[in-house]
Structure 1
C-alpha cells in the first residue's frame, strides 16, 4: 500500500486548536517516511520526531483503505488515546514524548500510522508529517529471518528516552 501525501483532514484537526497561529504553506511542510517491522505479540515504537511537539495527532489507516482514523493526540492538555487503540495491542505514548508504543502487537496493527506534529517556533511554526508503514509478521516469518523485532536504533532511542525521563524526575 502506498503512503499518501498530505492529508488536509489531518491539518484541520490541528488548526481547530491553534487559532491565531500562522500555519506554513503546505509546500513548506516536511514529510518523513519510515518502514517498521514488528512481530505478532511483540513490541514496536513508532516515532514522531526527536523532540516533543507543541501539538500532535496520530491517525491509523488499514492496508487497502484511504480512511484515516484518529488514534491518539495531545493538544497541549495531556495525551489521550482513542478507542481504536485497543484493537491494535496495548497502545501507549512514551512518557513526555510523542512516540507511540504498541505492546502485544496484533495482526490488526498492520497499516500506516501518521503522526502530524506542530512545533510552535518563535517566528514560524513548523509542521511535520511522520508516516510509519508498520508491517506485522507472525513467528514463522520471523524465524525464517525475514524481519526484525526492534532495531538497534530503536533500542538505543528507548534507552535514551528512559534515561531522560529519569533525569527529568530527579
Structure 2
C-alpha cells in the first residue's frame, strides 16, 4: 500500500513511500508512478549503509543502466514506463530504492520521490534432524533438533511421528526447532520428520529412526 505525504508546496514535490518483499532468485517490480516522467533517476542504498548510488537514469534519451545494477540481479526498465523489473533477484538487492521522477506540467516543474524499501526473502532449505540419542533407554530424556542452512525468519516448525504400521501423527509445532521428549517409552519408537516453513515456502526433512531400548 502506498502512503503519500505532500510537502508545504504540493504543486512542486510529492513523496510516495512503500515496503515491498521479493524472493531470492525470483522477479520483482519496482514502480515509479503510473505515467512516464520527462526524466528520472533510480538510486539504491544497500541495507546497513548510508550511501545512495545511481542504478539507472533517463533524461529523455533512453535509460542508462549503471554498473551497480549488475550486483542486484537482471535489471530492465519496463517498456513505456520508468518502473524497474529485477529478475533473478540477489540477496545484495535488499535496501532502499529511490526513483526521482521529473514532470513538466504546463511549464511548472513537478518532482515526485518514490521510496521503496525492498526486503529480499530467502526460501527455507531442506531441513535435517539431529538426535540426542538414536537409541535412548525407556524412561530417559531425549530431544530432536530440526536444522536448516537457509531461510528468512520467522521460522515455523512441525514434527511428525510415523509408527511401524505407517500411521503418521503430528506431535508438535511452533517456533522452536527443538522437540523435547521428557520421558521416552516404547510407543515413541518409529520414524521422525520435521517440516520447516517461512512466508516463502516449506520443506520436509528425510525421516530418521529412533529405537527405544526397553
TM-score range, shorter chain: 0.5 to 0.7
Asked if residue 111 in structure 1 is aligned to residue 95 in structure 2, the reply is yes
Counterpart Cα distance in 2 of 1:36 and 1:95: 21
Asked if residue 74 in structure 1 is aligned to residue 58 in structure 2, the reply is yes
TM-score by length of structure 1 reads 0.68
Larger radius of gyration: 2
**Matched residue SS, 2:108:** coil
| Alpha-carbon distance, 1:25 to partner | 6.0
Quick check: 2:43–2:52 contact (8 Å CA) kept in 1?
A: yes
Counterpart Cα distance in 1 of 2:51 and 2:122: 25
4+ long deviations beyond 2 Å: 24-28, 141-148
Alignment of 1:14-33 (within 5 A): 28-33=12-17
Higher strand residue share = 2
Q: Which among 120, 125, 130 is matched to residue 104 of structure 2?
A: 120
| Alpha-carbon distance, 1:144 to partner | 2.9
Report how many residues are paired.
126
- Greater relative contact order (Cα < 8 A, sep 6+): 1
Q: Deviations over 1:56-101 (max 9, x none)?
A: 0000001122201000010001111001001111011001210111
TM-score by length of structure 2 reads 0.54
* Runs of 5+ unmatched residues, structure 2: 1-7, 125-150, 153-195, 202-214
Quick check: 1:37–1:147 contact (8 Å CA) kept in 2?
A: no
